[in-house]
Amino acid sequence: MHPCGGKLKPGPLGLRLVEPTPRRARILYLLKTVKPVDIFKCEQCGDCCKGYGGTFVTEEEIISIADYLGADPKCFVKDYCRISGGKPVLAQGNDVYCIFWNGLCAIHPAKPRMCRAWPFIESVLVDVGNWQIMAASCPGIHTDVPDSVIKECVGQAVANFRL
């Protein structure tokens, strides 16, 4: 027993304290208990539906959205998209919002994977600082948890979207 009350365990350099520091214990606790829904709660503000860059749509998503709208999939790209980098992206109105944003997402049941995944995107796994950047424009993103917990939660969500 360590004088501080921690447990000791033999290690390569003699005895070592095996109980984590308070900070490490808190992070380990959070990793076990915090889920993606605990670090993001959509407030339906639409901030993720505006801005340049666009939402790329796959052929399957085009068919799904067109079907939901009762539109002809063959005309969908011409009527609802623009081309960026050779790929179709959902068009934006003059207000810079996605054309399907009208206070709520008009295609919510059929919205593209890119929209369903937000803000649990792979760029956060590359650099967790992207979570903080996105939080500056998204009131639903919580930043009051350690970066390691954010990465773990985003990793869980990204893995689920790949299934």
Q: What are the pLDDT digits (tens) for 96-153?
A: 999 999 999 999 999 999 999 999 999 999 999 999 999 999 999 999 888 988 998 9
Q: Would you call 81 helix, strand, or coil by DSSP?
A: strand
DSSP H helical ranges for 5-126 = 22-33, 36-39, 59-69, 73-80, 113-117, 122-126
Check if the beta carbon of residue 49 is closer than 8 Å to that of residue 98: yes
What's the whole-model pTM score? 0.74
Q: Which of 124, 131, 106, 121 is nearest to 161 (CA)?
A: 121
DSSP state of 50: B
- pLDDT tens digits for range 37-72: 889 999 999 999 997 778 999 999 999 999 999 999
Q: 């059929």: which residue's tokens?
A: 110
Burial 43-53 (b: 16+ CB within 10 A, else e): eeeeebbeeee
Per-residue confidence (pLDDT) for residue 1, from 0 to 100: 44
Q: Is residue 163's pLDDT more than 70?
A: no
Return d(Cα 152, Cα 35) in angstroms, integer.
9
Residue 46: DSSP 8-state: -
DSSP 146: -
Position with higher pLDDT, 77 vs 15: 77
